[in-house]
Amino acid sequence: MNNCLEKLKLDYKIKPVLILGEIHGADVNVDIIKFFIEELKPQVIFFEWLKFWDGKLIRYTENTVVLENILKKVPSGAITIKHFDLLKYLSKKSIKVVVIDEGGDSWNERDKKMSKNILEEITKNKIKKAIVVVGNLHARKKSFMLNDKYLVPVATYFSSQAVSVNIRYGKGKISNFGEKEVNDIYVLKHLPKNTSQSLLIAESKNFDYDFLIRETKPAELI
């Protein structure tokens, strides 16, 4: 992983926005976010969370009742109990948290608004290093067709500024609108024996890198 990580760091110097695509509801996601924070030292981290929460999330970590109400409203697993420990960690490191989801009448409108919110923060505050955490469909560098719809992801708006990483899970379960199994044969074939994770050049042209995880368990929602 070291060679690919060093290459990613060099890419990040030229394109200082890392777009990290996850499957919501995997317990390991927060650990991967922390890994990239430690390696890349961003000034700000963007989350695909409701913009209504902006500026309030740290306070929510101290209020159990409000915390429970939030988690009940996010069955996708985009925000989990483990994320609230992450917020405290980010606060201690003085890394700004910005939430970018304000909805939209369509998938494309929502992603366009999220990209606008990211760009405004980067421009306004002259951000030089950022991480964006979104679902993996939003982290694709190229537009694509899904269910007869032409979709334009967040990452397409930052093609000249961003490095895109797709988190791939070999096996296990996630909490995403219920408990679901994940199974990615590519991951299990390409991870070296006795290795739980690895960073590789992406198999698909939709991403720059694949971050392979051997196994995950479902994130704790409530």
Residue spans of the domains in the chain: they are 2-216
What pTM, to 2 d.p., does this model score? 0.93
**Structure token pair of residue 120:** 């405004």
Residue range 78-137, pLDDT digits in tens: 888 898 889 889 989 999 999 999 999 999 999 999 999 999 999 999 999 999 999 999
**pLDDT at residue 50 in the model:** 85
Alpha helices in the chain, H assignment, sequence order: 2-14, 29-40, 57-60, 64-72, 81-92, 107-124, 185-190
Average model confidence (pLDDT) across the chain: 91
Q: 63 in helix, strand or coil?
A: coil
**What's the pLDDT band for 183 if we cut at 50, 70, 90?**
very high
How many beta carbons lie within 10 A of that of residue 22, not counting itself?
Answer: 27
Measure Cα distances from 117 to 51, 71, 80, 110, 198 in Å. 10, 23, 23, 11, 31
What percent of the chain stands above pLDDT 90?
Answer: 75
State how beta strands 179-183 and 44-50 pair. unpaired
Q: What is the pLDDT of residue 91?
A: 86
What average pLDDT does this structure show over 133-146? 96
Segment 11-58, tens digit of pLDDT: 999 999 999 999 999 999 999 999 999 999 999 999 999 887 665 565
Amino acid at 180: K
> Is residue 205 classed exposed, middle or buried when 0-12, 13-18 and 19+ CB atoms within 10 A define those classes?
exposed
Provide CB contacts within 8 A for 102, sequence distance 6+.
50, 51, 110, 113, 114, 117
Residue 202 pLDDT exceeds 90: yes
Question: Would you call 135 helix, strand, or coil by DSSP?
Answer: strand
Average pLDDT over residues 148-153: 96
Class of domain 2-216: alpha beta
CA distance 67 to 128: 32
Length of the chain as a residue count: 222
- 153 pLDDT above the threshold of 90: yes
pLDDT of residue 56: 59
d(Cα 139, Cα 22) in Å, to the nearest integer? 8
Residue 12, phi then psi, degrees to nearest 5: -65, -30
Q: Binning pLDDT at 50, 70 and 90, where does residue 148 land?
A: very high
Q: With beta carbons less than 8 A apart as the criterion, state whether 138 and 48 touch.
A: yes
Residue 62: the pLDDT is 57
Give residue 77's pLDDT band: very low, low, confident or very high (50, 70, 90): confident
From 73-87, 164-178, 192-206, the region with the lowest mean pLDDT: 73-87
pLDDT band at 146 (very low <50, low <70, confident <90, very high): very high
The mean per-residue pLDDT over the stretch 65-90 comes to 78
Buried-exposed string 164-193: b where 16+ CB fall within 10 A, e elsewhere: bbbbbbbebbbbbeeeeebebeebeebbee
Question: Residue 180's beta-bridge partner residues?
Answer: 174
